Amino acid sequence: MPTALLLENLHPQARQILEAAGFDVVTRTGALDEAELIESLAGVQVLGIRSKTQVSADVLAAAPDLEVVGAFCIGTNQIDLQAAADRGVAVFNAPFSNTRSVVEIAIADIIALTRRLTVLDKEMHAGIWNKSATGAHEVRGRTLGIVGYGNIGTQLSVLAENLGMSVVFYDTAEKLALGNARRMDTLDELLETADVVTLHVDGRSGNAGMFGAKQFARMRPGSIFLNLSRGFVVDYAALSEAVLSGHVVGAAVDVFPEEPKRKGDPFESELRGLPNVILTPHTGGSTEEAQEAIGQFVANKVRDHLATGSTNLSVNLPNLALDQRPDAHRIAYLHRNVPGVLATINATLAEHGVNIEGQLLATRGELGYVVTDVSTLVEPAVVQALAGRPESLRLRLLS
């Protein structure tokens, strides 16, 4: 019975799906530091995490039984993907499941900041009645600048236009503009055009510190800023200065460079206490609907990988899914992408009188992955011959 360790309060659907598939499931409420994680992974085949648990190369090296990591979130920058691939550990995430939730909180933040609802709410709770339209605006007719036009950025673009906003976007990759959205040639052009700037970039290392004092200075006076993407892409000290100077009149931040590992831990930020600034604890994608969808999606991917060898939508291994053949025995073989591997596999099987019923090969950079269905049980000599080759990374036998 394979063992799964699920951390960081994953949705119960994840546990239910894995237990129904015959897994022994252990759950922990919070994230683990490196030493705790290494100790906890002894004898574990499946690790389920969200954004706070760091799966480093050292963790992977100390977990020889680990076969798959499920990131129950969008980002995977908390995982050393190359080290995982080198050890034949598949990584799956949920790139689409919480898109709508993030988009909706972005829309809510934009409206709340544009109407200065945070200021009015604070005054009302303090017993101050201040009925005034000063500084409050409609979002209709204002320009939204989206930095990062991926799954979230494009859906936000559509909803913002439905609210009557004009949309401009900037992305380093070529992206098809939806509706009446206009692509900006440079980030500076977007910053000089938009009334509201929102970041939806990924967690690649090149994005670290991409938004700082220079970019805030480029924004239009009286504009609004949102970061619902990654904490390390923004200089929050520079944002604090921009808010206090009045150049930026509102901000919403959901992600931070350093975040508490567990619920109830103290939170510190230079943004605390600033006027018309909304701070949320990395909950942009945390709705009950999104977490249930993520739990189902990632748990199913993990289950299918161990049962059938499928790597479809894996973020670090060649993507492959071969239809299961009844009564066939399956060999899942991850290897270095060098010439002759497929010929070696087939020659080895032929030498032992094993007939191939189905086979599929996929490559991804330096990696190759081949799944082979055969008609008879695979002898230990075949496993030894293939697993012992210098290009071999991981070989699994699946019934």
Active site amino acids: 230, 259, 282
Q: Is 260 exposed, middle or buried (0-12, 13-18, 19+ CB in 10 A)?
A: middle
Q: Phi-psi bin for 398: left (phi > 0), alpha (psi -120 to 50), beta?
A: beta
Closest CA to 259 of 239, 235, 280, 290: 280
Asked if 240 and 271 touch (Cβ cutoff 8 Å), the reply is yes
Task: Say how far apart CA 345 and CA 378 lie, in whole Å.
Answer: 12
Between helices 99-114 and 151-162, what is the axis angle to 10°?
50
Calpha distance 94→74 (Å, rounded):
5
Cα distance between residue 322 and residue 338, in whole Å: 22
Q: How big, in percent rounded to 5, are the helix, strand and coil portions of the chain?
A: 35, 20, 45
Task: Please give the Cα distance from 178 to 169 (Å, whole number).
Answer: 10
Residue 254 CA to its chain's centroid (Å): 15
Side-chain half-sphere exposure of 180, counting CA atoms within 13 A: 11
Q: Take residue 385 and report the two structure tokens written for it.
A: 């011959």
d(CA 331, CA 338): 19
**Closest among 248, 298, 311 to 274, alpha carbons compared:** 248
Distant-in-sequence, close-in-space partners of 58: CB < 8 Å, separation ≥ 6:
34, 38
Residue with tokens 């199913």: 300
